[in-house]
Structure 1
């Protein structure tokens, strides 16, 4: 989800750019309710 993506971006800026074109498989991408 977008919300989770934003959280990931805030916690892992370097991975955030990669997540845009990659699948959410990195440990930095964590779904936060």
Structure 2
């Protein structure tokens, strides 16, 4: 489960890109958790 989460986070980061990370940061912790769940 932990490795799967890391893979999903890594894949999502590459797929969404920097703008996605910025958006998550701006929206706040809850959104960050959703983006990096």
Q: Which has the higher contact order (CA 8 A, sep 6+)?
A: 1
Query: After TM superposition, is the score higher than 0.5?
Result: no
Larger C-alpha radius of gyration, 1 or 2?
A: 2
TM-score normalised by the shorter chain: which range applies?
A: 0.3 to 0.5
Instruction: Give the TM-score normalised by the residue count of structure 1.
Output: 0.44
**Larger fraction in helix:** 2
Could you state the TM-score of these two structures normalised by the residue count of structure 2?
Answer: 0.41
